[in-house]
Amino acid sequence: MPNILLTRIDNRLIHGQVATQWTNHIGANLLLVANDKVAKDKMRQGLMDMAAPNGVATRYFSIQKTIDVIGKAADRQKIFLICETPQDVLRLVEGGVPIDKVNIGNMHMAEGKRVVVGVVAVDDDDVETFKKLRDKGIELEIRKVPSENKENIDKLFNN
């Protein structure tokens, strides 16, 4: 079974907060971005590699490749799994990736979305997806950085 320390939803994927605070906090040595677009975008990968801490490996896989290969991860790989959307996380879970906790860090405001707290904006599809994840027994938390308190997760469902 892969050693997934944390799964995070952050539409920025790898950036300063992820690279420094979260990676150090959880003790990850591998940042795995599961995202269909980024898996094909070498320039964006290069930019994210620059943000990754020294000594921490990065991988950029499509959702399907993540499903197909994550079971082959070595125990020594302490994986920080980063996704752009809750829908990507649900696809991974439905594909058999053993995710038990999801940190919701940043979901940008866009047309049709509403802010539930700070930098987390959702639409109806996001809310339904979070309900499906919760119903599968996955712990959800809203927290931008490890030093902050968790937000009340009910805020996702009460808007």
For strand 101-106 and strand 139-142, is the pairing parallel, antiparallel, or unpaired?
Answer: parallel
| Cα distance between residue 30 and residue 14, in whole Å | 12
Say whether 15 is catalytic: yes
| Cα distance between residue 46 and residue 20, in whole Å | 17
**Any idea what the Cα angle at residue 94 is, between residues 88 and 96, rounded to 5°?**
110
Taking CA atoms, 37 is separated from 79, 123, 151, in Å, by 20, 21, 30
Residues 6+ away with beta carbon under 8 Å from 148: none
How buried is 152 (Cβ within 10 angstroms: 0-12 exposed, 13-18 middle, 19+ buried)? exposed
Question: Which is the catalytic residue, given 12, 15, 134, 143?
Answer: 15
| Cα distance between residue 149 and residue 159, in whole Å | 21
**Residues identified as active-site:** 15
